[in-house]
Structure 1
Amino acid sequence: MKIIIAGAGIGGMALAALLRRRGVTAELYERAANFDHSGYMLGLYPIGARVLHGLDLIDDFFATSERMETYTVCNGHGQEIHSYELGQMLDGFGYSGGIMRGELLTLLRKRCEDVPLHFGTSVTGFEQAGDKVEVKLSDGSTNRCDLLVGADGIHSAIRRQLAGELPDHETGWGCWVWIVRDTRRPPTAVVEHWGAGRFLGLYPIKGGLGVVAATPTRIMGPNAVGGDGARVKAHFAVLGEGIADVMAALPDDLGQTFWWQLSDVRAKSWHQGHVALLGDAACAFLPTAGVGASMALESAAVLDDELGRTDARFLPGALARYEMRRKPRADSFQDDSRKLASMMMIESTELSWGRDQLMKFYTLDMLAKTIAQSLAKPI
């Protein structure tokens, strides 16, 4: 079976690695020129990290990530509202850690050393004829395969051809992302500051912290502030002196940071004929619950599982089973991420205060209901 994967992100690379383990070599096309710009952080829950066991990469993950042990929510003045022990939910299921996206891609690439990977080339479209797919590439050439997997992200060209233009679910917020090294903060603590019109998250990675500073786009987005980091620092200063060290690490030139427009999208169907969607191309996630990478790894594992029990003649049935196993679960995680976003991203001072009072009584299971329930469920 010849397989082409559009996109060499977490989902695409994981699928290629899983296929290779079974002796199937896929061909990858990635629009980026290299992996140099894959430098923001992400978290992996046990539901995603366990896929690395099957690739014999779990020890490498332990070595390149930082364990997440506590989760603390503070108000808009830096005062603690509630602190949670993550082990209460995760113990018994596996390891949860923070890692740089580039580090995770490097790990996955170790299992794809002989897999053809074409940087600087994207899949722009396709045509299905019988049981074959003619793939159109950005360099003007074409390729043929039995299966095309669209793992080309939230703005997927594959999804657009399958389903047309789908509206993004917009929060109206975006975030600046940067890394702080050599911090003296507790290395395993996740800390979030929920202010009015401001959100600041501190996430452990090996040797430092990943920082997310979110705010309404119209106020502090790239078009509003240009490249002026000083304006962003001033905007977040009201969160208190406790964040002075991480805000000082924000570059004055915002061109050195990563801007993330906080939106997502949901495909109505994940497959058609001999074409399937994977990762953000199928169901993109807001970062509020931190599940995007875990979901991509899970989906890659399920797709590989279904492909391992069929051949090219029966691909449509295998892809239908893949969608049945994955779409409801991914949609429920996306719903959780959206609900968390509505709690975190509040502009009104009064509503923010009311939210803070309610948070004093929230359990971890209430905050992350779908994650808690999913840990023991089969996929």
Structure 2
Amino acid sequence: MKIIIAGAGIGGMALAALLRQRGAAATLCERAESFDQSGYMIGLYPLGARVLHGLGLMDDFKAARAPFVTYTVCNGHGEEVHSYDIGAMLDQFGASGCLMRGTLLDLMRTRCADLPLHFGTRVEDFVDDGEKVTVTLSDGATDTCDLLIGADGIHSTVRRRLFGDQPDHETGWGCWVWIARHTDRPATLTKEYWGAGRFLGLYPIKGAVGVVAAGRTQDIGPDATRRDGRKVKQHFAPLGPSVADLFAELPDDLGEVFWWNLSDFRAARWVKGRVALLGDAACAFLPTAGVGASMALESAAVMDDELGRTDAAFLPGALARYETRRSTGRRASSRSPASSPR
């Protein structure tokens, strides 16, 4: 069975690695020029990290992660409200922790290094004739496959070509994301500040702290601030001096700092013919839920499980089962208490 995967993010790379492990193959097309552009942190919980067991990457993950041990929540004035021992709770179910997105991609790539990966290339269009899918790439080349996987993110081109325009849900919020490397904060502390119109999250990574500073786009977005870091710092001043060391590492010129527009998306359908959606292309969660990467890994595992029990002739049935299994998981996760920012 010939498979083309549009998108070499968490879901796409995991699926490629799982396929390769059982002797199958896939071609990956990634619109980014390299994984060097994958410079933000992600959290993995046991439901997703367990997929790494099957890839023989659990020890590598544990070595690369900063484990979740303590979670502390503070109010909008910087005062601590409560602290929780989340490490003991999570350890009952498996490994968890935080690491750079690029690090996880590099780990999974070691399990499918011989598969073609075309950077700077995206799927622009496709035609599914019921027997094969003919794919048109951004470089003008065409290819055919038995199965096209759209793992190309929340603004998926594959999904748009498959089902038409389906707008995502805009929260009106966004966040600046950066890495603070010059801090003596505990390496296992996850800390969040929740205040009216502002949120600050501190997440452990190896040797540093990942910082997420969120607020209404009209208050702190690129247009509102003209990418002036001093205006962002002023917006978060009510949190007090306890976070001054983190904002000291936010440059005055935000031209190179990652801005994340906070929106989510739930596709009504994940499959049509010989084309299927995976990861954020099908179901994109807000960072406040914290499960996006884990859900993408789980979806990749379910897809691989179904593909491992079929061939090209019976592919539609396998994809239908994939959609049923993952739609159930999506609904359960969507009922989690993690809420959108207000």
The verdict on a shared fold, with TM-score over 0.5 as the criterion, is: yes
Aligned to 2:77: 77
Aligned to 2:253: 253
Q: Distance in 2 between matches of 1:6 and 1:109?
A: 15
Q: Distance in 1 between matches of 2:281 and 2:54?
A: 24
Shift of residue 335 of structure 1? 4.3
**For the Cα contact (< 8 Å) 1:175–1:215, is it kept in 2?**
yes
**For the Cα contact (< 8 Å) 1:283–1:334, is it kept in 2?**
no
Aligned to 1:341: 339
Secondary structure class of the residue paired with 1:36: helix
**For the Cα contact (< 8 Å) 2:67–2:87, is it kept in 1?**
no
What is the CA deviation profile of residues 275-324 of structure 1, one whole-angstrom value per residue up to 9, with x for unaligned ones? 11000000011000210000000000010000000000111100010111
Q: Distance in 2 between matches of 1:54 and 1:243?
A: 40
Q: Distance in 2 between matches of 1:216 and 1:331?
A: 27
What is the CA deviation profile of residues 320-379 of structure 1, one whole-angstrom value per residue up to 9, with x for unaligned ones? 10111111212332343xx5334xx33xxxxxxxxxxxxxxxxxxxxxxxxxxxxxxxxx
The runs of at least 4 aligned residues of structure 1 exceeding 6 Å deviation read none
Aligned to 1:317: 317
Q: Distance in 1 between matches of 2:66 and 2:91?
A: 16
Q: Distance in 2 between matches of 1:181 and 1:247?
A: 11
**For the Cα contact (< 8 Å) 2:69–2:88, is it kept in 1?**
no
Aligned to 2:227: 227
Secondary structure class of the residue paired with 2:310: coil
Shift of residue 253 of structure 1? 1.3
Please, which moves more after superposition, 161-170 or 220-229? 161-170
Q: Which amino acid aligns with 1:333?
A: S
Secondary structure class of the residue paired with 2:193: strand
Alignment of 1:1-379 (within 5 A): 1-336=1-336, 340-342=338-340, 345-346=341-342
**For the Cα contact (< 8 Å) 1:177–1:210, is it kept in 2?**
yes
TM-score (norm 2): 0.98
What is the CA deviation profile of residues 138-157 of structure 1, one whole-angstrom value per residue up to 9, with x for unaligned ones? 11111000000000000101
Q: Distance in 1 between matches of 2:331 and 2:8?
A: 23
Shift of residue 125 of structure 1? 1.4
Structure in which a larger fraction of residues adopt helix: 1
Aligned to 1:362: none
**For the Cα contact (< 8 Å) 2:6–2:149, is it kept in 1?**
yes
Please, which moves more after superposition, 197-206 or 156-165? 156-165
What is the CA deviation profile of residues 48-101 of structure 1, one whole-angstrom value per residue up to 9, with x for unaligned ones? 111111111111111111001111110011111122111353132111100000
Q: Which amino acid aligns with 2:179?
A: I
Q: Which runs of 5+ in 2 are unaligned?
A: none
Aligned length: 342
Aligned to 1:360: none
Q: Distance in 2 between matches of 1:126 and 1:82?
A: 52
Q: Which amino acid aligns with 1:275?
A: V
Secondary structure class of the residue paired with 1:76: coil
**For the Cα contact (< 8 Å) 1:286–1:334, is it kept in 2?**
no
Q: Which amino acid aligns with 1:117?
A: L
Q: Distance in 1 between matches of 2:47 and 2:137?
A: 34
**For the Cα contact (< 8 Å) 2:126–2:133, is it kept in 1?**
yes
Q: Which amino acid aligns with 1:170?
A: E
**For the Cα contact (< 8 Å) 2:130–2:274, is it kept in 1?**
no
**For the Cα contact (< 8 Å) 1:12–1:278, is it kept in 2?**
yes
Secondary structure class of the residue paired with 2:134: strand
Q: Distance in 2 between matches of 1:84 and 1:211?
A: 20
Q: Which amino acid aligns with 1:341?
A: S
TM-score (norm 1): 0.88
